[in-house]
């Protein structure tokens, strides 16, 4: 369980740095941990985030939210996997929406890594005890194609392909509104949101280059929705979700960047269908890569999951009736 602590800074030593005071008061928390907590806005004064160099005046109460402790290693678990391809070097799976990729605070079990460790005993160790074989990830509520590696050589090879942006990654999503053009490219850097620490933003701190190519597959004027295909040139956290929400077209059912379900108030049946989505209506449809040993180009695709498929079918019928 996560926990919180409070520290009171007396008035007898004004001008002391915030990080120095916390380090002296809580010796069980390292300097690097304190920096991470401050950077993630888990340390606040009077409800406001502060910098490590903040000078304390005296009389302040400092609030510290400590995250759940992370497990030290992942444990194999007998969880069903939809395997699209497997050999002695790599395994390609169709991840279900709702499955976290690797263990972390609040998700010590039930992850894709737990399932992979049970299914194949030869995952690459280079990813670490909690992320063996993991060279990329997709969000918990995003479904679709993922690859993991079974040896360090394959891991290094695939990691370089991701770094070089040579991996073919195609996604489909249902978004609010109808874009003014049929296709386009969004070139906006992405970093941690300056205020809301769970979100990413093009106005964030320490942004990284991010490019998303997109094209409209279908338009649904009655519901004011569109089915859009995305091709990622880069792979930043929440990239598609951030880029399209900042264009005024957030993904349907996105809990962080989306619109309330009340936006479908004129269509109770659509509301009912959208409520069944586990999260954002986003699916990793295609993944193509050069095999690390054979040098052959391989490409794998995944069908749109049933829940999202039902919504698209319903919208298609609306179009036919219009």
- Chain centroid to Cα 34, Å, comes to 24
289 Cβ contact partners less than 8 Å away, ≥ 6 residues apart: 147, 158, 161, 166, 167, 168, 297, 298, 299
For residue 7, what are the CA distances in angstroms to 11, 29, 32, 60? 13, 14, 19, 8
Q: Which of 94, 139, 141, 254 is catalytic?
A: 139
Taking the C-alpha atoms of residue 43 and residue 29, their distance in angstroms, rounded to an integer, is 13
d(CA 110, CA 315): 33
Q: First and final CA of the chain: distance in angstroms?
A: 52
User: Could you tell me where the DSSP H helices lie in 186-305?
Assistant: 239-245, 268-274
139 is catalytic: yes
Using alpha carbons, select from 114, 122, 151 the residue that is nearest to residue 135.
151
- At residue 86, φ and ψ (nearest 5 deg) are -155, 135
Active site residues: 139
């Amino acid at each position: 369980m996560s926990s919180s602590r409070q520290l009171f800074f007396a008035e007898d030593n004004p001008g002391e740095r915030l990080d120095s005071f916390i380090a002296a008061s809580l010796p069980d928390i390292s300097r690097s941990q304190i920096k991470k907590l401050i950077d993630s806005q888990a340390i606040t004064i009077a409800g406001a985030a502060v910098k490590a160099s903040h000078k304390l005046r005296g009389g302040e109460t400092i609030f510290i939210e400590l995250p759940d402790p992370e497990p030290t290693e992942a444990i194999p678990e007998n969880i069903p996997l939809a395997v699209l391809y497997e050999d002695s070097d790599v395994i390609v799976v169709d991840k279900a929406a709702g499955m976290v990729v690797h263990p972390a605070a609040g998700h010590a079990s039930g992850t894709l890594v737990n399932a992979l460790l049970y299914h194949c005993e030869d995952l690459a160790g280079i990813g670490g005890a909690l992320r063996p074989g993991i060279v990329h990830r997709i969000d918990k509520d995003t479904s679709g194609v993922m690859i993991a590696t079974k040896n360090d050589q394959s891991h290094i090879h695939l990691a370089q392909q991701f770094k070089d942006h040579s991996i073919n990654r195609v996604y489909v999503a249902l978004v609010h509104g109808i874009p003014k053009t049929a296709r386009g490219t969004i070139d906006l850097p992405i970093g941690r949101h300056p205020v809301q620490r769970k979100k990413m933003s093009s106005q964030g701190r320490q942004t990284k280059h991010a490019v998303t190519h997109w094209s409209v597959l279908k338009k649904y004027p009655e519901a004011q929705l569109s089915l859009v295909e995305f091709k990622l040139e880069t792979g930043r956290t929440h990239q598609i979700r951030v880029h399209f929400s900042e264009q005024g077209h957030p993904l349907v059912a996105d809990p962080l960047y989306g619109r309330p379900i009340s936006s479908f108030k004129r269509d109770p049946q659509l509301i009912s269908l959208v409520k069944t989505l586990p999260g954002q209506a986003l699916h990793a449809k295609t993944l193509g890569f050069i095999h690390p040993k054979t040098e052959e180009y391989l490409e794998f695709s995944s069908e749109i999951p049933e829940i999202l498929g039902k919504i698209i079918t319903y919208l298609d019928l609306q179009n036919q009736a219009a």
